[in-house]
A and B are shown apart, each in its own frame.
Chain A
Amino acid sequence: MISQSLFAACAVLPGWDKHLRLDAWQNWQTMPLPTIRDEAWKYTNLARLEKTIFIKPATTPSSLTLNDIPLTIPEDRFCFINGSFNPALSAPLNAESYLLSQRAWPSIPKKQQTPVSYFERLNAAMLSDGLYLDIKKNSNNPIYLVLLQDKTAEFSTHHLRHRIKVHAGIKSEIVIVDWGLADTTSLTTYVIDIELSEGAELNCIHLKKAGTQGYHIRQTHAHLAKNSHLNHFNFDFGAKLSRNEISAWLQGEHAACQLNGLALARAQDHIDNQTKIGHLAPKTNSLEQYRGIIDDKACHIFHGHVLIDAHAPDSIANQQNKNILLTSTGQAYAEPQLEIYNQNVQCIHGATVGDIDAEALFYLRSRGLSDEIARQLLIFGFARSILETIHDKSLQSELALWIKTHLALDSELILDLYREDDHEDIN
């Protein structure tokens, strides 16, 4: 997969601990690739990835512009192209937002520094760059972190790590966009550390479209202090292999998180969502809603682990996973896993895999809607229930158009749905 010479060819980030990097490389080399015999990789076979030889590290930024992606990217943004930071397309760096390659890696607790998993070790060894966001001020505008890949990324490998810290009582929003402009064979590992101080609030929206040949493996770790609140949204438009792991640790009393996700898998896409929520303090609250729409021969996996510690009485956890299979060749695996060590908690979970609701289809048709329109409406409605949980209305309608294009839905139909909503604002 990755040779010693490719590792040697990777530039060493000045801010990155050399020993840590070398340790990680050596540890990675000695660690076997996870196989389907490993519980956490039961449905995701890495054999093909193992056979793929990647030959290039992060490349020099190409001449891409942001007009190449169908999404409005505001000016508060930091762009990485083919794994490298692109200052021309980015907002100025400053004391509160700086590159890992420019300054020392900010202190992270020792325990979190040592990468445990296979891909995190690889990420630590090969790290191309990353951003540190030290958020001390409230802002009404979201910050965009954009990763673009174009066709020159063929057989390259990119490894990014961002660290986001939101200070006490501060509210912030971050939108992370990973966009593959071409269907290149590439491997991206992505580690995101989120730290929310007491009373902090973060909306984090992650949009991913990695191209049909991309391998994209992301690990997000969030640590939440007392009264802090994380709303994390994961919209995945598919890849050859897209793996999203997120862990949210509710460490302080009244910490709360919402983890929502929408997987739109088609063709031969493989989307594997692994979530873990740890309730470690009393009166912590989690809400999780993941949905999948699976077409063609695609596959969606949802594994949701909720841990309620003995020291977390009066906690509430609600996990829901729903999947629609549009074909008989698609696959969906729904695995809730609850681990509860305190009796005084409320825990609800549910998982479904099925076709389009036949009752609802008949209902719409009995009102005069054609089979095709009724189906599209139900599919879009299913996605929309997740889409509507993000508060940003303009991002919501842009995403609706992405979804429309991705699922080849009638554009008039979707536009119309949004026009109807406009009436609500008028009235």
Chain B
Amino acid sequence: MLTIKNLQASIEDKAILKGIHLSIKPGEVHAIMGPNGSGKSTLANVLAGREEYQITAGTMHYQGIDLSTLTADERAHLGLFLSFQYPVEIPGVSNLYLLKSALNAKRKHMGLEEIDAIDFLSIVREKMKLLHMDDSYLYRDVNSGFSGGEKKRNEILQLLLLEPSLCILDETDSGLDIDALRIVAEGINLMRNEKRSILLITHYQRLLDYIKPDVVHILSEGKIVAEGDYTLATQLEAEGYEPFLQKKTGG
């Protein structure tokens, strides 16, 4: 379970997160929505361990462990996975190599042996089939020359392969056309089970039509200003952010 209390974070002395409270239980899907600049991506990056951000107050615990004491790779070993808003291109490193090293890093942490090359290929191909990805993805350099949609699909492939227990999806829907969105959403839905927690970060309700969240949070200026069930997203889509932002100003 993820528990965030009064989390405040800044970058280059500019405060971005100004006291976030959030808790996600195993099996739950939460969505965070909010206008540009509200701090959504910062929250995702702070959780994943990006070192450029300073945590100025508050705590974040996952499975009872203080995340702020762990590096990004240690957080990944613990089961945290961030699907990047802008997946990074890494020329010279094949996708296959990254996928295998990532899986073996996790296995090593669990005390398991490295996966056999043939077994690995059959597992990764099975996952790629689910995402309608062909074999060539394996031998291309990581995200290099991939289209926006291909990059996002590649993130979900890593997610399916690594089977993390806490998935943070940062605007996975942006840059996807309707068909790709459906395929990616189906991939994420496959991951839903009673043990896994999912945090969806999105601008639009569109993705939530495919992946129905248990809780919706609205983030504005570094704070959660409203919380509710799935209907909150529908309301947001109909009325826009304005009423929520005014409420905050008024209260």
Contact = CB atoms under 8 A, between A and B. Distances in A.
B90 A366 contact: no
A425 B51 CA distance: 40
A385 B135 CA distance: 21
B96 A420 contact: yes
Main secondary structure of the interface of A (DSSP, over half): helix
Contacts, number: 93
Interface string B98-137: 1011100110010000000100010000000000000100
Contacts of A362: 50-51, 72, 88
A170 interface: no
Interface in B41-64: 48-52
Interface residues of A, number: 33
Contact of B76 (A368, A385, A424): A368
Contacts of A416: 97, 101
Nearest to B144: A385
B73 A370 contact: yes
A399 interface: no
Nearest to B50: A362
Contact of A371 (B73, B89, B94): B73
Contacts of B91: 381-382, 385
Contacts of B101: 367-369, 373, 377, 416
A384 interface: yes
B250 interface: no
A364 interface: yes
Interface string A343-376: 0000000000000011110111111111101100
A421 interface: yes
Contact of B105 (A359, A360, A367, A371): A367
A189 B233 CA distance: 73
B90 A367 contact: no
Contacts of A380: 92
B84 A363 contact: yes
B92 A371 contact: no
Nearest to A362: B50
A197 B100 CA distance: 48
A382 B84 CA distance: 22
A359 to B, nearest CB: 5
Interface in A407-427: 416-417, 419-421, 423-424, 427
Given A359-B88, A417-B97, A366 B82 contact: yes
Contact of A417 (B87, B88, B94, B139): B94
A78 to B, nearest CB: 33
Contacts of A246: none
14 contacts: A358-B52, A362-B88, A363-B84, A363-B88, A366-B76, A366-B82, A368-B102, A368-B105, A369-B102, A377-B101, A381-B93, A417-B93, A420-B100, A423-B96
Given A360-B88, A420-B97, 13 more contacts: A363-B84, A363-B90, A364-B98, A365-B49, A366-B84, A367-B98, A369-B73, A369-B105, A373-B101, A377-B93, A380-B92, A385-B91, A421-B139
Interface of B: 48-52, 71-73, 75-77, 81-82, 84, 87-94, 96-98, 100-102, 105-106, 109, 117, 121, 135, 139, 141, 158, 162
Interface of A: 357-360, 362-371, 373-374, 377-378, 380-385, 388, 416-417, 419-421, 423-424, 427
Q: Give me the 4 closest cross-chain CB pairs, A-B, nearest first.
A: A381-B92, A368-B105, A368-B76, A384-B92
